[in-house]
Amino acid sequence: MRFRERRKSAIATPAYIGVTDEAWYRQLLSEHPDEVNFWRPGGRRGFAAVRPGSLFLFKLHYPAHAIVGGGWFVRFERLPVSLAWSAFGRKNGVADRERFLARIRKYRRDEPGRDPFIGCIVLTEPFFFSESAWIEAPPEWPKHTVQGKTYDLEVGEGARIWEAVRLRLAAASGGTEGEVLTTASRAGLTELVLDEHRPERWTEIRSRLGQGGFRVAVTGAYRRRCAVTGEKTLPALEAAHIRPYADQGPNDVRNGLLLRSDLHRLFDGGYVTVDPDFRVVVSGRIREEFENGREYYRYDGQRLSNLPSRDEMPERSFLTWHNENVFEAGR
């Protein structure tokens, strides 16, 4: 019998139910990650089914007709396996890179090569239900489909599933570990998930990214180009924290710059900074200490050549902090 319609609430954004295999679920169930990569072996079509901050649930392939966990959607990026592995490691739901490649080849008809591109659906604060707490998937779901679906959380099957998820997460917040396993912050998760008026949590999620999610988000925000040089060679690019994570800097894309690896080291060492007007400033220390630096001084005073969209631009307060606390101008 279909779940009866719920009273009207502020829930407006649908949830997405993605299909995965049991090996991915079992691996992550035992590892308690703070983020996961719900990867797709191809990913050429992108992913725009839901907005960032939306609920994303995991359904197992047939014959396991069940929803076994979920997380909060952050971003989709198409990335080479090498970057997906270095960013997430075992949070890709596989034990090592060789098995990762083998799993990708299992699902692709073409020969993927040594470092194929895959679709990366980045999720934060994932949770995984023990088998006794699995939720029955919608009865109309075709047995052999591998495509996911969106569901309205206010009515019908979407409302039934949303209520079941909420009850399991509430049990987890009360310490009932036998019912559900979750690695999210219990207090924060309960406050947000159990409040019907806040199903979209992008404001909170911005600052709750893991290190892998931060790296992928910054890489995507800068369109895979160095903010200073415009360099596009992906293995040479690194996501830099403006205010270091170890010094209370959040894993927020607005606290990030995508930099060529040598510029990243100089930025972290205080030899280079970016001022609040997005202009590069190069310290005289490079010349004083190394009697060199021509490659870098040509960028001095230059506005960043590559910036993200407005809502992902570097936060000026973070840039000011770096200028005042890390950068040393030299003589």
Q: Spell out the residues 6+ positions from residue 109 whose beta carbon is closer than 8 angstroms to its own.
A: none
Q: Where are the alpha helices (DSSP H) in 111-245?
A: 156-173, 186-193, 202-206, 211-221
In a shared domain, residues 200 and 273: no
Range of the domain at 177: 15-206
Return the ∠ at Cα 208 (arms to 264 and 166), rounded to 5°. Answer: 160
In a shared domain, residues 156 and 261: no
- Residue among 119, 21, 122, 124 nearest 78 (CA): 119
**Domain assignment present for 258:** yes
pLDDT per position in the chain (331 positions), as tens?
Answer: 333 343 344 444 689 999 999 999 999 998 889 899 999 998 677 899 998 888 999 999 988 889 999 998 989 999 999 999 999 999 999 999 999 999 998 888 777 778 899 999 999 889 999 999 999 999 988 877 778 999 998 889 999 999 898 888 877 766 554 455 555 444 344 444 545 444 455 556 665 688 999 999 999 999 999 999 999 999 999 999 999 999 999 999 999 999 999 999 999 999 999 999 999 999 999 999 998 888 999 999 999 999 999 989 999 999 999 999 999 986 6
Rounded (to 5) percent helix, strand, coil in the chain? 35, 20, 45
| Total-model pTM | 0.86
Structure tokens at 77: 């990026």
In a shared domain, residues 237 and 199: no
**Domain assignment present for 190:** yes
Q: Spell out the residues 6+ positions from residue 216 whose beta carbon is closer than 8 angstroms to its own.
A: 75, 77, 79, 83, 87, 120, 122
In a shared domain, residues 59 and 198: yes
Domain count, the chain: 2
